Every structure is written in C-alpha cells, then in structure tokens.
Chains A and B, each alone.
Chain A
Amino acid sequence: DTDDVGHKYYLELELEDVLDTVSQTVNCTAEVLYPLGSKTSAPDVQVTVQGELRSTEEADKEFYNWIRSLEKELVAENIPDSHGNVPPELEPIHLLAWVASGYVIWQNSTENTKFHLAQVKHVKQVKRSDEDLQFDFVLLLHEMVSQEVLPWEVTLLWHPQRGARVSQS
C-alpha cells in the first residue's frame, strides 16, 4: 500500500524468503523520497524491518570458503542462460548480482522508471589481499517504460560477516 504525500511514498511491504518459502513472512515499512526536480540524485530510502531474517551463516561460510579455495578466479557469463537456467553452484553469484543490481536501480530510479535485472551478462572474480570477495559484474538492466536493456558495470565486495557493498558502478 502506498499513500503518497507530495513526492514522498510510504510503503508497507511483506518480505518472503524465496529460498525458504515455508518460513513466516516478515513485515517491513519504508519511506521513499524522490527529490523534487533533481534528476541526478537517487531517491532517499528509509527502511525498517519488523522481525528477524533467518541466519544464513552456514551457507555464507560454505560459499566464501569455496570461492577462496578456487585456484583460478571465477568467471561466468549469461546468468541465467537463454533458457532461464542457472547452474546450482552459480546461484549465490546470481543472488549477489541481484544485490548489486538493487544498488544500481536505486541510484538510477525516478518516479517514471521501472527497472528489473534482466540477466547477468558477465561476472569476473578479482582476488584481493584483504578478506573480502570482489566480483566485477556486467549487468543487463531492463527499463519497462523505455523498454531499453542497458549494460551496467558494477563492482561488488562481499564478506560473510560484513555483507555486501558496492565499490563502484
């Protein structure tokens, strides 16, 4: 539900864990403020999550260790493939790409855009001297109104405890 007050939107959302559909949904509220006039700055977003999201510690650790154990940096393209398939071991990469796309979409959204991640065109892991994992993505974002599909380069850093951060896009 949104009640809009000028260009400020109040949202009530229900979060469902798509990887764990049996668990309870979690409610959250958000306030999105689209800056008047300015087309170059991202909307301001405040979110409150009412409840707890389940721990993914074990899966995170497994993925982290797997990537760290690879001799050659991971490289992949077209996730999902043309037929919509994602090899199971690349599913975490797909999810990280989603997070990265969330950042790009946030930074580029206005009240007249509707973005979705269409496909991960390319991903390349970059080995680092610190504890973070680094993935350089080329993401294809589909914008509904213009129907354009545009490539975006995003670099995402991730660590099991520190979470995901976009380092540049």
Chain B
Amino acid sequence: DQVLHIVPETFQQVQHLQLLCSTFILDLWKPLLPEDIRAGEDLHIRVPAPLVQEVKDSLDQHMISYRVLIPDVQKLVDQSMPRERSSHRQVSGGYVYTEYHPMEEIYQWMTQIQKNNSELVTQHILGKTFENRTMYYLQISQSSNKTKKIIWMDCGIHAREWISPAFCQWFVKEIVQNYKTDPKISRFLQNLDLYVLPVLNIDGYIYSWEEDRLWRKSRSSYENGTCYGTDLNRNFNSSWGSVGVSFNCSSDVFCGSGSESEPETRAVAQFIKSKKSDILCYLTIHSYGQLILTPYGSTTKPPSNNEELMQVAKEAAAALTGKYGTSYRVGSTALILYSNSGSSRDWAHTIGIPLSYTFELRDTGTHGFVLPANQIQPTCEETM
C-alpha cells in the first residue's frame, strides 16, 4: 500500500480526485471527507497495493501530479509495532533468531541445537573465561570415513558487537535447517567440517547486557581490581604490542600484560594450533563497518597469498551485495581500516592458515554497535 501526496490545482482535478476516491473506495487520510478536497490544499490518500498502478495511471492521464509520501505502509506499521508482534520473525523450534539473546539463552540454545541435530552437531568445551565461565564451540560435521578440512568461525570477541553472535547463531540454524535439502550445503558438508564459537568473549558480552552496552573488552582485572578488560583482538601472538594498541589498562585497545595473557585467547589459540594442519579458513566476525579484512593489521606488507585472499574476498563481497545491495569494502586492515597488532586473524595466518578473514558486519555508523534487531535477518541473510 502507498500513501500519495497530491495538491490539486484546478476544480476539475478536485472533481476527478473525488470521483477516484468514491470509485475505488480509497482511504482518505487528509482531508477526512472527499467533499473537503480543495484546490491548493494538501491531499493524502492511501491506495491499496493492487490499485496503486491504476490510480497512478489515472492521475497521469488527468495531468495530476503526485508524490509518494509513504512507499510501503506495511513496513511502517511493522516498525512501529513492539517487536514481539512483528511479522518478520524467524523462529525455529521456539528460538527467535531475529532478536538478540543474553548469554544464558545462548548457552541453552547450544544444548538444544545439539540435542535436536545430534547427527550433525556436537558441543565441545574450548576453555574457560576469566570469570570462570565455560566456553563452548559447536562442531558441525557429517560423519564419513574421510578426514575433512576445517573452517573455523568465531563471533563475539568484542562484547558490544551484538550482531556478531546473532550471526553465528543464525549461521548454525541455516545449516541444520537446510543441509538435507540444499545441495550447496550438503556438498559443503561432504568435504568440510564447520567449527563455530558463538561467543568468544562471554564475560564481556554479559557485561554489555548488564552494565555497559558499549563495553568492548574482556573482564579480566588489572591493577588490583581498579581497571578491567583486555582487548582480546590485540592479545594474540602476532607482532603483539607493536602498533595500534595501548599498554594502559583503561584503554579500549589494551593489549593485555603479554601476548596470550588472557584465558580466552589461550583457549582459542591452543585449539586452533592443535588443528592447524587441517584448518583451511579462519573467520572472525565483528561489527561495524561492512568490511572484509585480510591480513595484516601490523604491517602493509602483503601476505604471501595475497592475490588468492583478495580474490576470494572480492567474490564474497559481490555475493553479499547481490542479496540486498549492501556494499562491503575488501582489503588489508592496515590499508583500509587502521594499524593494529595482536589480532586473531593475523595470528591465524602467521601460523599457516591460508584463508584468514575478519568480517565487519552492518552498518557503517548510522546505528553502529546498536544495530536494531530488525536488521538481524537481512544482515545474516546477506552474509550467509
């Protein structure tokens, strides 16, 4: 449905508009009654979707100019409804993937998804966080007798980037829902295992729900409990501490007391090291920025397989844009974003994982970290 804005110029136009309103029984928003339509005064009419073209044609025929005031009435209605009643829900077995979930619910979700899809998904312990919470990853693996290569994806290394864990959950849902019917996915799974860590920085994520929505780091304590948090994405052993970091605990890019000083970093690093000969691709999901970043952040010197890295990334960006037109930029962190050292992506590449990428999801600053939940679905669909 659309709402048109018209200012009739002549009495004939007024008459024609009154005729249109009664013939098509159009919904007059302004004025209230057709008899109150006047030349020179604003007219707002809502035209039901199936009649839009016909009405516009009729206006054109009578040389009545109009402007579309509201291109999609339903969209506006949905936006103004409390989210529980929005019609764009994606629910699978009761879990709402188009909403942000606190950590407790994500823990429950992991257990459920394994239970409901035990032939494909298994839950494993990766390690513990500073505040002693268990870090779990999900292994998506179709049983077969050949050893498969691995794709690793972690989300939520930075607490405030809520769209990131939302994407990991969405991703898992998409795979388990469609692996039997979608030929692309089933072919994938014949040759590859997927390892997904839905929330890397659990302590930080919880803190962003309970105390400070814009918190970024972990919650490890320093300086006798007067200062908290390491930027986990500056804590890995890749030129640690050299650039784009701070040694001051109160900074948002505090790189920790040493490389891999944080339990979360060690948990991830240990696991990846143990599997590194089989890991084909390392993905780490962040927001915001709409970027696909390749190594390195600590230097502009390109990695040895830069051409391949860039080509794959460009194809990914093109496929993403194809969905909703969202544009992503592709390139090395040091060139298109900023210099930084100690990032997980750089580290993964230096230990030998050929394809290593950071995804910065929507948006580009309009909402930033506080991306509305109604963008979860389109963001996840295009990233998929």
Interface, chain A (partner B; CB < 8 A): 18, 21-23, 78, 80-85, 88, 116-119, 140, 142, 144-149
Contacts and interface: CB of A to CB of B under 8 A. Distances in A.
A80 B79 CA distance: 14
A116 B338 contact: no
**What secondary structure prevails in chain B residues at the interface with A?**
loop
Contacts of B252: 146-149
B214 A149 contact: yes
Nearest to A80: B370
Contacts of A78: 213
A142 B83 contact: no
B370 A84 contact: yes
B367 A84 contact: yes
A147 B372 contact: no
Interface in B226-255: 231, 244, 251-253
Interface in B160-195: none
Given A85-B83, A85-B372, A145-B338, A118 B214 contact: yes
A119 B372 CA distance: 12
Contact of B373 (A83, A88, A116, A140): A83
24 contacts: A22-B67, A78-B213, A80-B370, A80-B372, A81-B370, A82-B213, A83-B99, A83-B100, A83-B370, A83-B372, A84-B371, A84-B372, A85-B372, A88-B80, A116-B365, A118-B368, A119-B214, A144-B338, A145-B338, A146-B251, A146-B252, A147-B216, A149-B216, A149-B252
Given A83-B372, A84-B375, A118-B370, A147 B214 contact: no
Nearest to A144: B338
A144 B366 CA distance: 13
The 4 residue pairs across chains A and B that have the minimum distance between CB atoms: A84-B372, A116-B365, A147-B252, A149-B214
Chain A CB within 10 A, most for which of B100, B231, B365: B365
Interface residues of B, number: 30
A77 to B, nearest CB: 11
A94 B367 CA distance: 11
B258 interface: no
Interface string B195-215: 000000000000001000110
B334 to A, nearest CB: 12
B71 interface: yes
Nearest to A115: B365
Contacts of A21: 71
B216 A82 contact: no
B68 interface: yes
A116 B368 contact: yes
**What secondary structure prevails in chain A residues at the interface with B?**
loop
Chain A CB within 10 A, most for which of B68, B80, B209, B370: B370
A83 B338 CA distance: 28
Interface in B354-384: 365-375
Nearest to A116: B365
B33 to A, nearest CB: 21
Nearest to A21: B71
A119 B370 CA distance: 8
Contact of A140 (B99, B214, B371): B214
Interface in B49-86: 67-68, 71, 80, 83
Given A147-B253, A149-B214, A80 B369 contact: no
Interface string B97-111: 001100000000000
A142 B214 contact: yes
A125 B374 CA distance: 30
Given A88-B80, A144-B338, A146-B253, A22 B371 contact: no
A142 B190 CA distance: 43
Nearest to B364: A116
Contacts of B216: 147, 149
Contacts of B80: 88
Contacts of A81: 370
Contacts of A23: 67
Nearest to B79: A88
A42 B368 CA distance: 24
A148 B244 CA distance: 12
A118 B365 CA distance: 8
Contacts of B213: 78, 82, 119
B209 A82 contact: yes
Nearest to A147: B252
Nearest to B209: A82
A142 to B, nearest CB: 6
Chain B CB within 10 A, most for which of A18, A144, A149: A149
